Structure 1
Amino acid sequence: MTDLLLKYFRTKQQEVQSEKVYDTQCPFCSMQCKMQLIEQSVVSRKTFKTIGKDNPTSQGRLCVKGMNAHQHPFHKDRIMHPLQKVNGEFVQISWEKALQHIKEQFESIQATDGHDALSVYGSASITNEEAYLLGKFARVALKTPYIDYNGRLCMSAAATAANQTFGVDRGLTNALNEVPHTRVIILAGTNIAECQPTIMPYFEKAKENGAYIIAIDPRETATTKLADLHLKVKPGMDAALANGLLKVIIDEDLVDKQFVQERATGFEKVKEHINSLSLDEISTLTDVPIEQMRTAAIKFASEDSGMLFSARGVEQQIDGTHAVRNLLNILISTGKIGKKYSGYGAITGQGNGQGAREHGQKADQLPGYRSIENEEHREQVAKVWGVDKDELPRKGVSAYEMFQKIDEGKITGMFLMCSNPVVSNPNANFIKKALKKLKFLVAVEMFISETAEMADLILPTSSYLEDEGTMTNLEGRVTLREASRPCPGEVKHDWEILCEIAKVLGKEKYFPFTCAEDIFNELREASKGGAADYFGITYDRIRKEQGILWPCPNLDHKGTVRLFENEFAHSDGRARMIPVSNLSEIPKEKVDEEYPLYLTTGRIVSHYLTGVQTRKSSALAARNFESYLEIHPETAKRYNIEHNNLVSVTSKRGNIVVRSKLSEKIRKDTVFVPIHWTEAQNVNLLVGEDLDPSCKMPGFKVNAVRVAPV
């Protein structure tokens, strides 16, 4: 009897004390904070706790999103089985049937409409391995040129500007640990306090150490509070403001002449252009006082070291590429690049926004930042893939342009992976209209998102707790996301899904992978010698060294902490400077009597992108359960809007209804709506379809609207 009792109590004790620990990384922003999920079983109930884990980038810090990230993988709405739409309703089917259905539909579409009738829409939240494999899948398994991804709407302006100026794009040209030691910082259009909260201590430490911080933003935010000087620029006038700062630097003879002469081209043309401009005109255009421009420019140019950071506020405009290039003109003219404590940082938005744009998801790109139009690059990658270079398609079109081709009937099928374009793209009503014209839409998702709802077939994918692979954070540091929790139900990894579809399409020999590490080893080979060279990086090295900054060309290379110390990545080793107009070549939407206010958009701390995951987290949803309109009290009074009331916001494209939030922190001519909500609160219903001619970025930050109480 005693033995039976002891056995019983031991069993109960095990039930109470059972604990599992999963190492992983946060699935949200580009800091990619390392963390552990502790899963405890107490009798029949499970509890979860997330703790930060030390690492070189976020040093064990977590924000509110990371601490509650686990709530969405365990949500009751998570898709556990393939779902096929039958008579307008989703029904569960087997993987065998799902794969056969894809084979039949893809082959039928290509037989009828041609190979180019299929398209692939990817994501900057998937791993490097999956981004690489998706590009290979489009070009080898489907033989279509039409692949692009949601990062086009996020980082494309900064990436294009950096490539054009420096010859290569890596989010930060220096490691983050240099930030606390720089003497002056410009934060242009970035609200890091809400978008990347765990980065803030670097800037707070810089301030403690005496750094002078200049913020450029139409709104007062948690980030601008840190600034010594806030330039409250009129929306859309960032390129003009950069010209104002350049004019002061040139007029005051603060140019680093030796650096410009030895390390750059194009300065004389920039100087000639700047000399033709008037500070009075720039002040009128930007609504920034001349004295503030003078203070900012002289301070930045005069200090021994300085850093400049940009993000979506500057980049998500139809002249975003040129606006960033003009900011980089400031860096080059003052010699603050390629040196200790001096450099540029494009604050990447999505979790793998850096890595996902390096290895082939973009319409014109092959792995390693190679060009799909370059014959040598095509030959190098084709050799790794075991195909003839002439079999590889040429470049396709950008994300939004793919929907235009769907609308025109040129694309009739789409394979969509981990993205929600119905909410994230501009002119969202048009996106819905276009998707309805597809003959076949496959969505790989964790939940039935607004876009997946329109799919003919949904395939269930794994979460950050289950899907192992590498990610590249905003520093350019390649990290390894350990993910040991078993997939629930019939869920599969993104890379598994791609390999299984390739198999039924008869392309199995090109996709022989049995784990993520196999794919990474091929990625290493494909990137070898490219601008983004990962060849010297291995899973073992990442585990031992806690991540490696690319380029890393061989196994003995330690990784590149600081770019451009001796030369830039252009063939002549020099950076490129160009004159930039005050006004964009495509006219931006102007306010008028019918639409008298500027609309700008952005993120808030408790949510991420289109909210598919964060709105499934009870802790995060409770913080902000609905969207809102931030409006100045005087502006609100003019339109009879009271605090916390429902407000109609209308542009030429559409209308939404959100709740008012009166705030003196925003310009009187501007309103702000966050991006994380859908349907009647989807702010992208209001955004125009004009694109930056260089990078095809939509103009999310400048749209004319009117407001009225509901």
Structure 2
Amino acid sequence: MTEFMLKYFRTKQKEVQSEKTYDTQCPFCSMQCKMQLIEQTIVTRKKYSAVGKDNPTTKGRLCMKGMNAHQHAFHSERITHPLLKKNGEFVRVSWEEALQYIREQVTSIQTKDGHDALGVYGSASITNEEAYLLGKFARVALQTKHIDYNGRLCMSAAATAANQTFGMDRGLTNALSEVPHARVIMLAGTNIAECQPTIMPYVEEAKENGAYIIVIDPRETATAQIADLHMKIKPGTDAALANGMLKIIIEERLTDEAFIKQRAEGFEGVKRYVTSLSLEDISEQTGVPIEQMRKAAVKFAREETGMLFTARGVEQQTDGTAAVRNLLNILISVGKIGKFGCGYGAITGQGNGQGAREHGQKADQLPGYRSIENQKDRAYIANIWGIAEENLPQKGVSAFEMMKKVHEGEITGMFLMCSNPAVSNPNANFVKAALKKLKFFAAVDLFISETARLADVILPASSYLEDEGTMTNVEGRVTLREASKPCLGEARHDWQIICDIAAALGKGRFFSYESAEDIFNELRKASRGGIADYSGITYERIRKEGGILWPCPEHRHPGTKRLFETEFSHPDKKAKMCVVPNEPTVKKDEPTEDYPLCLTTGRVMSHYLTGVQTRRSAALRARHFESFMEIHPKTAEKYKIEDRVLVKIESKRGSIIVRSKWSESIRPDTVFVPMHWGDSQNVNCLVAEDLDPSCQMPGFKVCSVRIRRADDKDVNKLS
């Protein structure tokens, strides 16, 4: 090393006046990658970098979002003190004034409109402790039945299908460590390479071990590029494709007869139905050649081990529950469940999508994945909470149905926790109009999002670096997010904010916690004996073991790595197969003469959900700073749309303007727009409000649209 270089490095070392490290985990997808943020003070400037930490799920891996997550946490637009809207503008107020305002508004609404006139809209990005507490807050402090959360738009179809089929829902029935040992892997409507990149090494290792990879997707995604077989399905026809594969498996006598006889119900009805169908009709309906269906069905059935994974591409449909159930019919028919290297995984989208629905944020659930309509469950939780069972509200409605009730005047006040329904909900213009009708609207968030800007009061939340608590990742593994960085300004943790509001409403005795761990210990008691039993999990154990897979019913229990080895969770211990018709019961928003193209939505690697956090990361925003419409070149030529020009997309509900992006990876009858932008680029303004009758999931993946090149008049409206 030269004298000059030595001098340079000595100078640099002197410039680094201090270095601190913060243990945490990524705030984004359900992999919940463990990491460490390194803070260096160089003269008067702070420099940050993130490195992955070894853990059972991600082995120290990080994707670009995790490496740059800190950029939003330190962004200048962070809300650091309470804001109250006065004369149409947000002004800074004290916590005392904000809480007093909330108390007055809540009391007025409860007196004039009743307790159920208040709604609570939660999040799958908050911790288990905060999800648990929010459910308790709605039902004890507000005494309202109206609580639901944004996970309804993400995991509800898969969760409902798993509950109906297996009797319980945990994202993955097996630990991810088994994936490399599967001989065949079917990825239906999941683009893990971009949405959960740190899962990909498991699939890549399986492929190196000789696994056959099947991808079902209308687009040739980064995930589809590693597939041995890519079935480029017409959006919304997944249930029909599964029927075609089932027909082939049954007629080729590839079913596992012993497994079906011992461990399943309903097979004969499924057999009668699918054998009556025509493969030619299914091929025409789905756009998938019969030869591809046959290859996928035979390969999946004949291999000794195999796993099925689904995500939003299958689930965000008005028949999403039925489509997932039909894919599970395939899994059961060939006996690939409850065994090593065999199982099902619903790839959870949000960071705590699994845990957030297990402990009371859903309209129909109580902690431990208990049912709010079950008398025994109600009595148990009422006792934990110290209230009379008759004072525990009944079942409410789903997230989007709450917005309908706002429009109808049944809900007149709302609490919003770390969510952005003005962008994420279908028919987003309808949702905005509903929120403007509220007499009172309070939001808890890091930023003034598209939804928070409509609020009367905004309370500043803490970021992932500041807010300690447990999260349940894609495997069903309960992890502990350490958070030692002090809150910025006057920001408070979500759980503290909930407790503060409860105290202002005179319910403080039910919310007297000193730490997140205090709340978790109550959650453990509340979950004991439930489907999602966390009672044997402690902070101490998680720190020692790196995370524990539930159910874990007592302290010595190691956690459950594989579900359904000997029995399913229905009373008779059997899995339930069911007939799924090719045509859904709720008509989809399919192409018509006036709206001839099918729009489908999804994610890009550099952004997360509605982009409120990732669009405030300079590194991530630079990769995708605006939305776009992916379109096949032949389709683009037909509509006289050049590459990289502004395009107007219209549905029956509204219009948006985005930039065209030619791509041969998409079907010619389909266009794709990502979901991470709001306002004039909010793709959900176009989506119909029809819901899956089983789980109330909107049909984000099928929307009929028409397109044209934007003119000057369209562009002027944006400025």
Does TM, scored on the shorter chain, surpass 0.5?
yes
Query: What is the CA–CA distance in structure 1 between the aligned matches of 2:15 and 2:496, rounded to whole Å?
Result: 34
Aligned to 1:582: 582
Matches within 5 A, 1:7-406: 16-406=16-406
Query: What is the CA–CA distance in structure 1 between the aligned matches of 2:310 and 2:380, rounded to whole Å?
Result: 34
Query: What is the CA–CA distance in structure 1 between the aligned matches of 2:277 and 2:531, rounded to whole Å?
Result: 37
Counterpart amino acid of residue 398 in structure 2: S
Deviation at 1:590, TM superposition (A): 2.1
Counterpart amino acid of residue 400 in structure 1: F
Query: What is the CA–CA distance in structure 1 between the aligned matches of 2:168 and 2:111, rounded to whole Å?
Result: 39
SS in 1 for 2:247: helix
Query: What is the CA–CA distance in structure 1 between the aligned matches of 2:107 and 2:206, rounded to whole Å?
Result: 58
SS in 2 for 1:659: strand
Query: Could you report, residue by residue, the CA deviation over 1:41-82 in whole angstroms, capped at 9, with x for unpaired residues?
Result: 011110001000000111000000000000001100000000
Matches within 5 A, 1:441-590: 441-590=441-590
Aligned to 2:684: 684
Counterpart amino acid of residue 227 in structure 1: A
Aligned to 2:609: 609
Query: What is the CA–CA distance in structure 2 between the aligned matches of 1:689 and 1:178, rounded to whole Å?
Result: 39
Query: Could you report, residue by residue, the CA deviation over 1:326-361 in whole angstroms, capped at 9, with x for unpaired residues?
Result: 000000000000000000000000000000010000
SS in 2 for 1:234: coil
Counterpart amino acid of residue 403 in structure 1: M
Q: Which moved more, 1:15-24 or 1:329-338?
A: 15-24
Query: What is the CA–CA distance in structure 2 between the aligned matches of 1:265 and 1:50, rounded to whole Å?
Result: 50
SS in 2 for 1:179: helix
Deviation at 1:141, TM superposition (A): 0.3
Counterpart amino acid of residue 17 in structure 1: Q
Query: What is the CA–CA distance in structure 1 between the aligned matches of 2:444 and 2:690, rounded to whole Å?
Result: 29
Query: Could you report, residue by residue, the CA deviation over 1:271-312 in whole angstroms, capped at 9, with x for unpaired residues?
Result: 111121111111110011111100000000001110000000
Query: What is the CA–CA distance in structure 2 between the aligned matches of 1:39 and 1:586, rounded to whole Å?
Result: 53
Q: Which moved more, 1:270-279 or 1:212-221?
A: 270-279
Deviation at 1:19, TM superposition (A): 0.8
Query: What is the CA–CA distance in structure 2 between the aligned matches of 1:399 and 1:587, rounded to whole Å?
Result: 21
Query: What is the CA–CA distance in structure 2 between the aligned matches of 1:135 and 1:586, rounded to whole Å?
Result: 30
Aligned to 1:706: 706
Counterpart amino acid of residue 694 in structure 1: S
Query: What is the CA–CA distance in structure 1 between the aligned matches of 2:133 and 2:586, rounded to whole Å?
Result: 36
Query: What is the CA–CA distance in structure 2 between the aligned matches of 1:92 and 1:522, rounded to whole Å?
Result: 35
| Structure 2: unaligned runs, 5 residues or longer | 1-11, 711-719
Query: What is the CA–CA distance in structure 1 between the aligned matches of 2:636 and 2:616, rounded to whole Å?
Result: 32
Paired positions, count: 700
Deviation at 1:13, TM superposition (A): 8.2
Deviation at 1:592, TM superposition (A): 1.7
Query: What is the CA–CA distance in structure 1 between the aligned matches of 2:14 and 2:543, rounded to whole Å?
Result: 32
Deviation at 1:604, TM superposition (A): 0.3
Counterpart amino acid of residue 660 in structure 1: S
Query: What is the CA–CA distance in structure 2 between the aligned matches of 1:530 and 1:267, rounded to whole Å?
Result: 29
Query: What is the CA–CA distance in structure 2 between the aligned matches of 1:489 and 1:13, rounded to whole Å?
Result: 31
Deviation at 1:16, TM superposition (A): 3.1
Aligned to 2:598: 598
Superposed CA RMSD: 1.0
Aligned to 1:413: 413
SS in 2 for 1:687: coil
Aligned to 1:6: none
Query: What is the CA–CA distance in structure 2 between the aligned matches of 1:13 and 1:562, rounded to whole Å?
Result: 50
Aligned to 2:639: 639
Query: What is the CA–CA distance in structure 1 between the aligned matches of 2:686 and 2:72, rounded to whole Å?
Result: 29
Q: Does 1:660 align with 2:684?
A: no
Query: What is the CA–CA distance in structure 2 between the aligned matches of 1:613 and 1:521, rounded to whole Å?
Result: 30
SS in 2 for 1:84: strand
Q: Does 1:673 align with 2:673?
A: yes
Percent identity over the alignment? 72
Query: What is the CA–CA distance in structure 1 between the aligned matches of 2:674 and 2:486, rounded to whole Å?
Result: 35
SS in 2 for 1:354: helix
Counterpart amino acid of residue 645 in structure 2: N
SS in 2 for 1:436: helix
Query: What is the CA–CA distance in structure 2 between the aligned matches of 1:13 and 1:312, rounded to whole Å?
Result: 48
Aligned to 1:3: none
Query: Could you report, residue by residue, the CA deviation over 1:423-475 in whole angstroms, capped at 9, with x for unpaired residues?
Result: 00000000011001100000001000000000000000000000000000000
Deviation at 1:589, TM superposition (A): 1.5
Counterpart amino acid of residue 151 in structure 1: G
Counterpart amino acid of residue 240 in structure 2: A
Aligned to 2:8: none
Counterpart amino acid of residue 270 in structure 2: V
For the structure 1 residues 194 and 13, does the alpha-carbon distance in structure 2 shift closer, same or farther, using more than 3 Å as the test? closer
Counterpart amino acid of residue 631 in structure 2: I
Deviation at 1:575, TM superposition (A): 0.4
SS in 2 for 1:36: strand
Query: What is the CA–CA distance in structure 2 between the aligned matches of 1:488 and 1:426, rounded to whole Å?
Result: 34
Query: What is the CA–CA distance in structure 1 between the aligned matches of 2:615 and 2:299, rounded to whole Å?
Result: 43
SS in 2 for 1:598: strand
SS in 2 for 1:186: strand
SS in 2 for 1:416: strand
Deviation at 1:554, TM superposition (A): 0.2
Query: What is the CA–CA distance in structure 2 between the aligned matches of 1:572 and 1:507, rounded to whole Å?
Result: 42
SS in 1 for 2:353: coil
Counterpart amino acid of residue 60 in structure 1: G
Q: Does 1:626 align with 2:609?
A: no
Q: Which moved more, 1:15-24 or 1:351-360?
A: 15-24
Deviation at 1:14, TM superposition (A): 7.9
For the structure 1 residues 209 and 108, does the alpha-carbon distance in structure 2 shift closer, same or farther, using more than 3 Å as the test? same
| Structure 1: unaligned runs, 5 residues or longer | 1-11
Q: TM-score, normalised by structure 2?
A: 0.97
Aligned to 1:439: 439
Aligned to 2:9: none
Query: What is the CA–CA distance in structure 2 between the aligned matches of 1:216 and 1:388, rounded to whole Å?
Result: 50
Deviation at 1:678, TM superposition (A): 0.8
Query: What is the CA–CA distance in structure 1 between the aligned matches of 2:291 and 2:17, rounded to whole Å?
Result: 65
Counterpart amino acid of residue 372 in structure 1: I
Deviation at 1:111, TM superposition (A): 0.2
Query: What is the CA–CA distance in structure 2 between the aligned matches of 1:535 and 1:591, rounded to whole Å?
Result: 50
SS in 2 for 1:215: strand
Counterpart amino acid of residue 275 in structure 1: T
Query: What is the CA–CA distance in structure 2 between the aligned matches of 1:226 and 1:706, rounded to whole Å?
Result: 32
Counterpart amino acid of residue 208 in structure 2: E
Query: What is the CA–CA distance in structure 2 between the aligned matches of 1:152 and 1:372, rounded to whole Å?
Result: 17
SS in 2 for 1:470: strand
SS in 2 for 1:595: coil
Query: What is the CA–CA distance in structure 2 between the aligned matches of 1:501 and 1:635, rounded to whole Å?
Result: 54
Query: What is the CA–CA distance in structure 2 between the aligned matches of 1:269 and 1:186, rounded to whole Å?
Result: 24
Deviation at 1:587, TM superposition (A): 1.1
Deviation at 1:583, TM superposition (A): 1.0
